[in-house]
Amino acid sequence: MVEVEAERGQQVIIALDCGRLMTAPAGDLDKLDHSVNAALMLAWVAQAYGDRVGMMTFDDRVTNFIKPERGAIQLRRITEALYAIKPEYVEPDFGHAMTHLALRVGRRSMVVMLTDVQDPEASRELVAHALRLAARHLVLVVAMSDPAVISARDDPIDNTSRAYEWAAAEEFVASRRESFELLRRGGVLGLDVVAGKLSPALVERYLELKERALL
């Protein structure tokens, strides 16, 4: 765990995509369940470090917005909202969600967007609106790698069928990497991590950014 002595009283907004792709399995849970767990842990840690924490959930519309505050009541508010989440089998509207957030959060904040990242074409709207939001805020796009895809890429190739599996997995991983590179070049931070390690990895990145005084 990063040791950090950083300025207190910053703002963290957790933006959680509840659309179709977040229903995909990633290990023992689906991506949305992993994201809910990570959001809860981040909210708790950020509050412990004296930051104000807010939350937004969205699919093709904004389903909940909790303005950033401190305290036990705020943590309970966020926890109750997260446990009430239901995924929708629709495409997320990143433009509507990011505009909604920008209109309600004027102060520079860390915006943690828990979503799914695919190839550059499929992620075009996500990239465009994340870059626009990064003009005012510190934006971190967080996505989970499917353990099955990582295994297909990394396991030994011992037959023709495995060779096809490896090629498909490698192409998928490379296309995701390209999308994250587009985000990085536009000033958006990225975190791509195996689903089972999401919560500790997200907290570690938050503390790292606090230590570097980027927040």
Q: For the chain, which residues make up each domain, given as ranges?
A: 11-211
Question: CA 58, CA 97: separation in Å to the nearest integer?
Answer: 6
Distance from the Cα of residue 97 to its chain's centroid: 14
Q: Are 195 and 145 in contact (CB under 8 A)?
A: yes
Buried b / exposed e along 164-176 (16+ C-beta atoms within 10 A): ebbeebeebbebb
**Structural element, H or E, at residue 80:** helix 72-83
Give the pLDDT score at 2. Answer: 46
Question: CA 62, CA 145: separation in Å to the nearest integer?
Answer: 25
pLDDT digits (tens), the chain, 215 positions: 444 445 568 999 999 999 999 999 888 899 999 999 999 999 999 999 999 999 999 999 999 999 999 999 999 999 999 999 989 999 999 999 999 999 999 999 999 999 999 999 999 999 999 999 999 999 999 999 877 776 666 777 778 877 777 777 778 888 999 999 999 999 999 999 998 899 999 999 999 999 998 77
Amino acid present at 28:
D
Q: Are 124 and 94 in contact (CB under 8 A)?
A: no
Could you confirm whether domain 11-211 is CATH 3.40.50.410? yes
- Residue 58, beta-bridge partner list: 17, 62
- Cβ neighbours of residue 162 under 8 Å, at least 6 residues apart? 155, 156
Coil/strand/helix, residue 158? coil
pTM: 0.91
Amino acid present at 157:
I
